[in-house]
Amino acid sequence: MKTLSENKCFGGEQGVYSHASKACACEMTFGLFLPAEAQEGPVPLLWYLSGLTCTHENAMVKAGAQAWAAEQGIALVFPDTSPRGEGVADDSEYDLGQGAGFYLNATQAPWAAHFRMWDYLAEELPAALDAAFPLDMERQAITGHSMGGHGALTLAMGLPGRFRSVSAFAPIANPTESDWGKKQLGAYLGEGADWASHDASLLMAAQGFDGPVLVDQGSEDQFLDLLRPEALAQAMAARRQEGAFRMQKGYDHSYFFVSTFMEEHVNFHAEALYA
């Protein structure tokens, strides 16, 4: 584990670290906020997964999450969205390749060698965090924005018992029926592969989540047709899923939207983490 930076932040510390990842076969970077309570012992952990084109840094500096996490005594981890570096496959389009890992394990060339974000987030990074920092890994929750909202929902439902709560800001909710999904699932997994396990709406309909769910979507989101939030809302209603789907009038897809509702999301997770 390499320390890239550490800064005092809301009484705690915002760090940026890198480590050699076996899952992604490259150096991976993440941000970690530790509240002041971490000096006394392990604290609960909230994961934040970012969207297309983002790195670990976007939410770390734009979402305003540290202030609310500090109030609740919760750590925040900001992983990168994909493997990176020389020799890692990429694409000229912004929505494929580096910055667009889609939180899955690729099986197709040229992506399979590095794009194993599911294994990285489900197994490798949690183990590295547990070994190096004062975190209570029995108390975890997860959230994310856009592609990261997709990742948060699919990881939460795909890893039963791991997370006590899940939330999402404008998630890519139904990728098997959207151009933000068909393109990436086809490239990374191939046609005819198991796409359903990476579709939050299908997972919600099939199994749901054993805990509370909170989804916020802006009514003026410029990507609504690609996100397909109505599919997730319908699946949650049909399943009578514990939680809420909220359409927020006038908000778009930006971090102005995310930061507006971040306090509510952190408090939502704190209630589950401290239950």
Catalytic residue among 50, 82, 146, 201: 146
Q: Which structure tokens are listed for 146?
A: 């856009």
Catalytic residue among 80, 199, 216, 221: 221
The DSSP secondary-structure symbol of 29 reads: E
269 assigned to active site: no
146 assigned to active site: yes
Give the bridge partners for 33, in sequence order.
Answer: 14, 76
DSSP letters for 132-199 = HS-EEEEEEEEEEBTHHHHHHHHHHHHSTTT-S-EEEES----GGGSHHHHHHHHHHH-TTS--GGG-
Helix axes 65-72, 255-273, angle to 10 degrees: 10
Cβ–Cβ under 8 Å, residues 160 and 210: yes
Give the bridge partners for 78, in sequence order.
Answer: 31
Widest pairwise Cα distance in the chain: 51
Catalytic residue among 56, 150, 198, 253: 253
Identify residue 237 by its one-letter amino acid code. A
Catalytic residue set: 146, 221, 253
